């Protein structure tokens, strides 16, 4: 039986570390369980997961741990992109073996100015080496960071060559016009487009998008899921504005350390504040200011404490 397509809200799950830099796997599982309990899909090993600071072996072991803990793979979209093809193939095979709902694949981003022909060759070899019709690839378009992206012409070419495998895109341009362009060209072909931020979730859903993959769903899960379910109601614009206001608080700080500071505060697990080099955690004054601002805004995270 074919697994239903992933829709709705997903998040690049933040990765907890011990003070020595090792991954705190039990805490990771607990965060993922809280997210799934709140109807959030797991885009583990995304940008805000510090994925490019994790080794391939670490990522595979973390995915194994989630499956062993009983979390639902159909609502997982692990990041499996890499600059080298062998790593991308290895990570993607692992996700397919676990029957994950899809994989989120960065382009090979180290070399800049590469051609569409080169990118097509990379993804063609990825799909063919994995060699499984169950594989669903979601292209991770994040030119502000990767500086290498997916043109309309490249998406069209990939869809024509691999219609069973190219499933959609995470559009992290933050530009609703670009998201609408992708939907206009490819939605009719079953190509699902997720906004890369909840700040344009309502507009994305109105344009026929599949949902969003949002960093702040790590902390604001219930509200973002609620808008995704009620976007056709009259109060949807007000809900959208409330989410945008909350995200603006986090965006006053480096996003990953800020998310971790919030999770640490409301879970009671101070080790959540650890980040892996080259990132730097918020200092005590910054963390206090962030939490104070969030509480003054009436925000809290329910259910994180063990």
Q: Which residues are annotated as a binding site for pyruvate?
A: 213
Would you list the DSSP string of 34-55? Answer: HHHHTT-EE-TTSGGGTGGGS-
C-alpha span between 213 and 206 (Å, rounded): 16
Whole-angstrom distance, CA of residue 250 vs CA of residue 217: 12
Active-site residues: which are they?
Answer: 140, 170
Within the chain, strands assigned E span: 8-11, 41-42, 103-105, 137-141, 166-171, 192-195, 211-213
CB 197 within 8 A of CB 247: yes
Are residues 119 and 141 in contact, defined by beta-carbon separation less than 8 angstroms?
Answer: no
- CA distances (Å), origin 26, targets 44, 62, 70: 15, 10, 13
Question: Do the beta carbons of residue 89 and residue 131 sit within 8 Å?
Answer: no
**Rounded CA separation 109/79 (Å):** 14
Q: Which residues are annotated as a binding site?
A: 213
Q: Exposed, middle or buried: residue 69 (CB in 10 Å: 0-12, 13-18, 19+)?
A: middle
Nearest to 205 by CA among 215, 214, 194, 213: 194
């Amino acid at each position: 039986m074919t697994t239903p397509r992933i829709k709705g809200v997903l998040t690049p799950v933040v990765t907890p570390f011990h003070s020595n830099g090792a991954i705190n796997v039990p805490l990771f599982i607990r965060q993922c369980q809280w997210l799934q309990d709140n109807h959030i899909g797991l885009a583990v090993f995304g940008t805000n997961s510090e994925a490019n600071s994790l080794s391939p072996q670490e990522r595979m072991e973390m995915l194994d741990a989630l499956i062993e803990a009983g979390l639902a793979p159909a609502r997982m979209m692990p990041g499996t992109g890499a600059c080298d093809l062998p790593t991308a193939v290895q990570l993607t095979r692992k996700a397919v073996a676990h029957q994950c709902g899809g994989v989120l694949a960065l382009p090979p981003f180290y070399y800049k100015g590469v051609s569409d022909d080169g990118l097509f060759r990379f993804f063609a070899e990825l799909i063919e080496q994995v060699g499984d019709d169950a594989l669903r690839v979601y292209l991770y378009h994040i030119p502000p960071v990767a500086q290498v992206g997916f043109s309309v012409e490249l998406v069209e070419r990939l869809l024509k060559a691999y219609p069973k495998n190219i499933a959609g895109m995470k559009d992290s341009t933050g530009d609703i016009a670009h998201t609408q362009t992708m939907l206009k060209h490819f939605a009719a072909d079953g190509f699902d487009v997720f906004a890369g931020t909840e700040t344009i979730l309502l507009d994305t859903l109105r344009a026929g998008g599949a949902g969003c993959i949002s960093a702040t769903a790590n902390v604001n899960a219930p509200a973002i899921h609620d808008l995704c379910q009620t976007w056709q109601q009259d109060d949807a614009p007000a809900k959208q504005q409330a989410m945008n206001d909350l995200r603006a608080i986090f965006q006053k700080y480096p996003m990953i350390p800020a998310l971790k500071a919030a999770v640490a505060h409301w879970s009671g697990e101070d080790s959540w504040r650890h980040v892996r080099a080259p990132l730097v955690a918020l200092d005590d004054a910054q963390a206090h200011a962030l939490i104070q601002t969030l509480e003054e805004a009436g925000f809290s995270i329910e259910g994180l404490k063990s």
